[in-house]
Amino acid sequence: MSFNPNNPLIVQTDHSLFLEVHNPLAEAARAAIAPFAELEKSPEHLHTYRITPLSIWNATASGVTPQMMLEALQNYAKYPVPDNVLVDVRELAGRWGRLKLLEAGSQLALEVAPSDKALLLELRRNKRLMVLLGEALGEFAVGVPLLNRGTVKQTLLELGYPVEDLAGFTEGVEFNVALSNRTVVRDYQLEAANVFYQAGAKSGGSGVIVLPPGSGKTMVGIQVMSLINQRTLILTTNRTSVQQWRREILEKTRLEPDDVVEYGADRKQIAAVTVCTYQMLTHRKGSKAARGDSAREDTGQALEYPHMELFKSSEWGLIIYDEVHLLPAPVFRMTTEVQARRRLGLTATLIREDGREGDVFSLIGPKRYDLPWKDLEGRGWIATAECCEIRVRLPEEERMTYALSEEAAKFRIAAENPVKRSLVERILAHHGDVPTLIIGQYLGQLELIAADLECPLIIGDTRQAERERVFEGFREGRIKRIVLSKVGNFALDLPEAQVLVQVSGAFGSRQEEAQRLGRLLRPKKAGEVAHFYSIVSRETKEEDFAHHRQLFLAEQGYAYRISDESEWTEKPLN
């Protein structure tokens, strides 16, 4: 390939990709490389992507071929693509499927093709693997005890060799999940469910569906339930989400209320469809300070999570992990033991701030389906959203405090900048009486803003009944504004929300930024545009973290307009 000055992509030998944002072909190039490359930096003019083994394997498992990846690079590269990158993409993509996990009587078999005999011998000699494997099963396979199914997959992924798990699943108790005659399944929801299930083939039945907030991931889960027709365990983030799942299932299927129950502290009930929170699962018997938990984990002592028995309490045919990017570490450990059950992960982003994307790949399954946010926006299934970052200065006295503070304290000082309170009011005045959410990290800041606006405040300690009362008032239009702590990051079914103002967040969390924008993405009446504002203290650590927070949304094609506080304080608002 020769030099093409009109192309927007520069491919480097270290697997980094530079995308010229203002090039006319930039959007097409971004869409072509996003399935197999991760966005690392997104300044104004040049975005940096990186090709990683996991990004390649997730793409390959979801149907992106090596040829498609290579063509994306070559079609949009300004300079010839380095040979080592072309070879590495082929080699990494080619590793998917070389190691297969199959049924073998009372155990499993890790199998390779005859041409990979040497690879199997090498892996069997690995000190980490040898303790997990059984006896040789001929020249091209080795036994794997059933209980080691998940751990073997984790270990092999860490060694650079993903496993295609074709060992199949233990069938759960049959239970018919028929959809209601009134239920309409969108084309992409049906496609996602079918790609996951693969008509019952052993190659299907485990993996992750990635769709934007507001696009109906719950409906995908329900459609999968109707394909499998077996007892189902649904794990989700909080009680609000539990109630939303239960409400949606009863509305979209012919199941009766007694068929769909919550497993919780008050009622440890199990039914054909059981919904439980991650918090409930990870509740420790006699748990005390978190410091004690960490100390015991560091010494390798087993922790008692009595509710983890829920995994084994019934013959589940399907386990659904809602918001799988938030899956707690103890649930990961238990998930290694339930590899014989079908596992569906649902998420808007595979990003985990703890870096455990590899565990999601190994233990839940690879990415099976991913639809870009902008695609669904263009088809009208999610709202068009405009993002704006407003940069404000710290008042002089706060600036001096910031300068003299320890590094650990600086972020919070910047996040709680008092100038943000008055700016919130100016933003809301600009938009009038539209349904608005104000969300932040720090309780003291949120209490002041809620008092300024004379509106409800929902935090972690707010009783469930009060939350539902406020949310219902918002849905019905009686309440126009709600101030939320981080409990508002996910599992909020508030389709009326048209404006969201973020006053503070959890450092550089990309997943949090995506989830918060997602609160606005339910389609609006008459196609109104949603507005997402992020208020950031200028020349502080908060500004640095804001750049990182925005990475995932930039990867999805969202651009932040940068605004100065003077635009909101000096100019009249139209």
In 3-state terms, what secondary structure has residue 262? strand
Per-residue pLDDT of the chain (574 residues; tens, 9 = 90+): 678 999 999 999 999 999 999 999 999 999 999 999 998 887 778 999 999 999 999 999 999 999 999 999 999 999 999 999 999 999 999 999 999 999 999 999 999 999 999 999 999 999 999 999 999 999 999 999 999 999 999 999 999 999 999 999 999 999 999 999 999 999 999 999 999 999 999 889 999 999 998 899 999 999 999 999 999 999 999 888 999 999 999 999 999 999 999 998 888 899 999 999 999 999 887 654 333 333 333 333 345 788 888 998 889 999 999 999 989 988 988 899 899 999 999 999 888 888 889 999 999 999 999 988 888 998 999 999 999 999 999 999 999 999 999 998 999 999 999 999 999 999 999 999 999 999 999 999 999 999 999 999 999 999 989 999 999 999 999 999 999 999 888 767 888 999 999 999 998 898 899 999 999 999 888 778 999 999 999 999 999 899 889 988 988 888 899 999 888 875 444 4
**574 is a domain residue:** no
223 and 367, same domain (yes or no): yes
Residues 422 and 519 in one domain: yes
Tokens of 178: 């028929």
β 342-347/318-321 pair status:
parallel
119 found inside a domain: yes
Both tokens assigned to 53: 């083994």
Examine residue 228 and state whether it is found in any structural domain, yes or no.
Answer: yes
Asked whether residue 413 is assigned to any structural domain, the reply reads yes
Residue 21 Ramachandran class (φ > 0 left, ψ -120 to 50 alpha, else beta)? alpha
- How big is the chain by its Cα radius of gyration, in Å? 25
CA 2 to chain centre: 39
Claim to verify: residue 129 and residue 79 sit in the same structural domain: no
Beta bridge partners of 13: none
Domain boundary among 371, 398, 428: 371
What span, in angstroms and rounded, lies between the C-alpha atoms of 206 and 236? 17
| Domain shared by 390 and 447, yes or no | yes
Q: Give, rounded to a whole angstrom, the gap between the first and last alpha carbons of the chain.
A: 52
| Same-domain check for residues 441 and 477 | yes
Please tell me whether residues 215 and 345 are part of one structural domain: yes
Q: Which residues of 79-90 are buried (b: 16+ CB within 10 A; e: fewer)?
A: eebbeebbebbe
Spell out the residues 6+ positions from residue 190 whose beta carbon is closer than 8 angstroms to its own: 223
Give the tokens for residue 321: 């992990």
Residues 212 and 262 occupy one common structural domain: yes
In-domain check, residue 4: no
Tell me the C-alpha distance between 495 and 520, whole Å. Answer: 7
Domain count, the chain: 4
| Same domain? 89 vs 145 | no
For 365, the token pair is 């399954």
Helix locations, 66-183, DSSP H: 66-76, 83-95, 117-124, 127-130, 149-158
Last residue of a domain, one of 348, 371, 394: 371
Contact of 196 with 207, CB cutoff 8 Å = yes
500: helix, strand or coil: strand
182 part of a folded domain = no
Distance CA 141, CA 133 (A): 11
Pair type for strands 38-41 and 9-11: unpaired
* Same-domain check for residues 220 and 351: yes
Neighbours of 287 (CB within 10 A): 13
In a domain, 181, yes or no: no
Q: Does one domain contain both 367 and 381?
A: no
Let me know whether 359 and 384 are in one domain.
no
Cα(171)–Cα(167) distance, integer angstroms: 13
CA dist 123 to 57, 119, 133, 200, 358, Å? Answer: 19, 6, 10, 31, 19
- Give pLDDT, residue 571: 47
User: In the 3-class helix/strand/coil scheme, how is 511-524 assigned residue by residue?
Assistant: HHHHHHHHCCCCCC
CATH number at residue 485: 3.40.50.300
**Residue 224 burial (CB count, 10 A):** 24
Residue 91 lies in a domain: yes
Kindly report the number of other CB atoms within 10 A of residue 297's CB atom: 13
Nearest to 54 by CA among 36, 68, 33: 36
Q: Is 68 helix (H, G, I), strand (E, B) or coil?
A: helix
Q: SS3 of 109, please?
A: strand
Enter the tokens of residue 409: 């304290």
What's 129's domain CATH number?
A: 3.30.70
pLDDT on residue 302: 44
Q: How high is the pLDDT of residue 570?
A: 53
Give the per-residue pLDDT at 362: 94
DSSP per position, 422-478: HHHHHHHHHH-SS-EEEE-S-HHHHHHHHHHHT--EE-TTS-HHHHHHHHHHHHTTS
Q: Which two tokens stand for residue 226?
A: 């109707």
Residues 464 and 240: beta-carbon distance below 8 Å: yes
Instruction: Report in angstroms the alpha-carbon separations of 24 from 21, 29, 72, 76, 80.
Output: 8, 10, 16, 11, 20
What's residue 572's pLDDT?
A: 43
Supply the range of the domain harboring residue 113: 103-165
Q: Quick one: 158 and 233 in the same domain?
A: no
Task: Report the alpha-carbon distance of residue 56 to residue 361 in Å, rounded.
Answer: 12
